[in-house]
């Protein structure tokens, strides 16, 4: 009986990409399997997703010398006593100590689950050897800043479905694409649309291949994107709140030295995020808001005291993304002070016009300190947790969902940001 139960769980995991541990408040996510549920003709390439070496670790602590010359200089100096933590660092350490038991228990659950570890050992599959980061040929951020930006277009090439009719005649059905809900194109194999400051929607049930300049992109079914800067985000506010969003995920480009050094993306000062119209984007019944944050105490303090109040969001739970290697071990020591092997997802509720927080949750309770384990993909790429969030409250199921500052697309979701096609380039996919 136990063997059958284990087999069923493994089968479910291989299909969904999510494994739920019974002995801890944790789940393991295989991002590639989760993402592939959004596609019909294409598949996310594991070797492209896991483009960073599996054996990479967190950077060393700032106090550790990065080269032999610095090491020699330090050896000559007398050993200093450990520096006392300042007030903010003490608060950050206290947060870490509180969640540490949950993180350890979740990791122990993973290590004990041999069937998941076996799958993890072959995450890249048979799609080729380890590769370097695929990168992006063109920068949408740079394209948007030139004077020709309004002239840039995206060409969508629809995939045709052939169905055999009763009279033996082949009926050709083409996809439908809408632009801002007013422009519909049917019965054509190709459609050319403005790239920036437009809501581009793939309403079909198939993947769509798109072209921008000389690059190809894959758009999943029932998905849409709006590529713009912060000045255009208000265009996403629905005319009627009944058409608002029930789940809102936000992954802001927080200011941090690491991002600047690596030149991966442009960051923004914290005050810019105060103007995001979360309240106006919400559905009449309210919405769940999930915000990715780093472990900097200064940032947590800003979110709790300024950002969430400005958005009208009440914090109800904190999730943690615990990063592991393909062999199941943590990417670095759990107690490294400046480089924790986890990130935080603050989950809150934005009260709607109809229901308050208790009514929105109903009889359900969101457990705090939930742990999400997964192997990291490219730099700053978050695991796909949209499905988990949509399960939080049955009353919100079926509502619209949006990701702000998105860099990829998901079936059923609206992706907004200045580079929502970042991970949609065809080189990240293989044909099924």
Tens of pLDDT along 334-352?
A: 998 888 999 999 999 998 7
Residue 226, pLDDT > 90, answer yes
Q: What is the DSSP string of 163-183?
A: EE-TTSPEEEE---EEETTTE
Residue 346: give its domain's CATH number.
3.40.50.150
Give the β-pairing of 223-227 and 26-29.
unpaired
CA distance 186 to 179: 12
Residues listed for the chain? 432
Residue 182 has a pLDDT of 35
Tens of pLDDT along 354-384?
A: 665 565 665 456 788 999 999 999 888 999 9
CA distance 327 to 325: 5
Residue 424 has a pLDDT of 96
Give the β-pairing of 199-202 and 223-227.
antiparallel
What confidence category does residue 183 fall into, taking pLDDT thresholds of 50, 70 and 90?
very low
Rounded to 5 degrees, φ, ψ at 28 are -105, 135
What confidence category does residue 7 fall into, taking pLDDT thresholds of 50, 70 and 90?
confident
What confidence category does residue 179 fall into, taking pLDDT thresholds of 50, 70 and 90?
very low
If one compares 165 and 54, the residue with the highest pLDDT of the two is: 54
Task: Please tell me the chain's helix, strand, coil percentages from 3-state DSSP, rounded to the nearest 5.
Answer: 30, 25, 45
Residue 26, pLDDT > 90, answer yes
Residue 121 has a pLDDT of 87
- On whether residue 330 sits in a domain, the answer given is yes
- Tell which phi-psi region holds residue 272, choosing left (phi > 0), alpha (psi between -120 and 50) or beta: alpha
CA distance 106 to 375: 14
Residue 431's nearest CA partner among 45, 15, 34 is 45
Residue 395 has a pLDDT of 62
Q: What mean pLDDT is predicted for residues 272-286?
A: 93
- On whether residue 300 sits in a domain, the answer given is yes
CA distance 129 to 106: 30
Task: Strands of 102-158 (E only): list them.
Answer: 153-157
CA distances from 269 to 160, 182, 253 (A): 45, 35, 9
Residue 273's nearest CA partner among 330, 243, 246, 311 is 311
- On whether residue 24 sits in a domain, the answer given is no
CA 126, 331, 29 angle in degrees (round to 5)?
Answer: 55
What confidence category does residue 176 fall into, taking pLDDT thresholds of 50, 70 and 90?
very low
Rounded to 5 degrees, φ, ψ at 99 are -90, -15
CA distance 274 to 306: 8
CA distance 254 to 267: 6
In the structure encoding, which two tokens stand for residue 329, read together?
Answer: 């071990």
Residue 132, pLDDT > 70, answer no
Give how many domains the chain has, as a whole number: 1
CA distance 46 to 183: 36
Residue 42's nearest CA partner among 188, 190, 223, 174 is 223
Residue 66 has a pLDDT of 47
Secondary structure, 3-state, 6-75: HHHHHHHHHHHCEEECCCCCEEEECHHHHHHCCCCCEEECHHHHCCCCCCCCCCCCCCCCCCHHHHHHHH
What confidence category does residue 89 fall into, taking pLDDT thresholds of 50, 70 and 90?
confident
Tens of pLDDT along 102-118?
A: 999 999 999 999 999 99
Residue 398 has a pLDDT of 60
- The range of the structural domain enclosing residue 375 comes to 222-424
- On whether residue 33 sits in a domain, the answer given is no
Residue 173, pLDDT > 60, answer no
Residue 303, pLDDT > 50, answer yes
Q: What mean pLDDT is predicted for residues 91-99?
A: 92
CA distance 380 to 253: 10
Q: What mean pLDDT is predicted for residues 241-249?
A: 91
Q: What mean pLDDT is predicted for residues 163-169?
A: 37
Please, what is the average pLDDT of the chain?
Answer: 82
In the structure encoding, which two tokens stand for residue 100, read together?
Answer: 């540490």
- On whether residue 176 sits in a domain, the answer given is no
What confidence category does residue 184 fall into, taking pLDDT thresholds of 50, 70 and 90?
very low
Residue 82, pLDDT > 90, answer no
Name residue 179's beta-bridge partners.
Answer: 183, 200
- On whether residue 332 sits in a domain, the answer given is yes
Tens of pLDDT along 27-77?
A: 999 999 999 999 999 999 999 999 877 665 565 554 444 455 555 555 555
Tens of pLDDT along 377-422?
A: 988 899 999 988 888 766 666 679 999 999 999 999 999 999 999 9
- On whether residue 156 sits in a domain, the answer given is no
- On whether residue 49 sits in a domain, the answer given is no
153 membership: H or E segment, kind and range: strand 153-157
CA distance 186 to 209: 16
CA distance 254 to 420: 17
CA distance 7 to 10: 5
């Amino acid at each position: 009986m136990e063997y059958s139960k284990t087999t069923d769980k493994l089968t479910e995991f291989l299909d969904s990409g999510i494994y739920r541990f019974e002995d801890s408040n944790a789940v393991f996510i295989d991002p590639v399997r989760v993402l592939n549920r959004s596609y019909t003709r294409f598949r996310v390439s594991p070797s492209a997703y896991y483009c960073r070496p599996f054996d990479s670790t967190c950077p060393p602590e700032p106090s550790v010398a990065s080269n032999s010359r610095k090491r020699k200089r330090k050896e000559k100096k007398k050993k200093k006593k450990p520096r006392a933590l300042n007030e903010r660092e003490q608060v950050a350490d206290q947060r870490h100590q509180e969640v540490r038991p949950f993180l350890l228990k979740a990791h122990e659950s993973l290590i004990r689950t041999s069937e998941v570890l076996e799958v993890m050992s072959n995450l890249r599959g048979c799609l080729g050897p380890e590769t370097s980061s695929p990168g992006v040929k063109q920068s949408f951020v740079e394209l948007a800043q030139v004077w020709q930006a309004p002239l840039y277009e995206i060409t969508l090439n629809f995939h045709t479905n052939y169905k055999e009719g009763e009279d033996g005649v082949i009926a050709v059905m083409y996809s439908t694409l809408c632009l801002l809900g007013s422009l519909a194109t049917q019965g054509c194999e190709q459609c050319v649309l403005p790239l920036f400051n437009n809501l581009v929607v793939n309403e079909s049930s198939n993947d769509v291949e798109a072209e921008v300049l000389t690059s190809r992109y894959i758009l999943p079914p029932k998905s849409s994107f709006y590529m713009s800067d912060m000045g255009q985000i208000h265009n996403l506010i629905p005319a009627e709140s009944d058409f608002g969003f029930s789940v809102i995920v936000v992954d802001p480009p927080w200011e941090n030295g690491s991002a600047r050094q690596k030149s991966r993306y442009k960051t923004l000062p914290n005050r810019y995020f105060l103007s995001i119209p979360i309240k106006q984007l919400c559905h009449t019944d309210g919405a769940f808001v999930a915000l990715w944050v780093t472990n900097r105490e200064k940032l947590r303090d800003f979110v709790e005291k300024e950002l969430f109040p400005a958005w009208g969001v009440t914090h109800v739970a904190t999730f943690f993304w615990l990063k592991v290697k393909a062999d199941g071990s943590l990417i670095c020591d759990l107690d490294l002070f400046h480089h924790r092997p986890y990130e935080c997802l603050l989950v809150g509720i934005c009260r709607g016009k109809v229901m308050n927080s208790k009514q929105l949750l109903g009889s359900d309770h969101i457990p705090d300190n939930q742990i999400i384990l997964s192997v990291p993909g490219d730099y700053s790429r978050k695991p796909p947790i949209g499905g988990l969030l949509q399960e939080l409250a049955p009353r919100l199921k079926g509502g619209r969902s949006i990701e702000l500052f998105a860099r990829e697309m998901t079936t059923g979701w609206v992706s907004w940001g200045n580079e929502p096609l970042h991970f949609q380039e065809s080189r990240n996919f293989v044909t099924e």
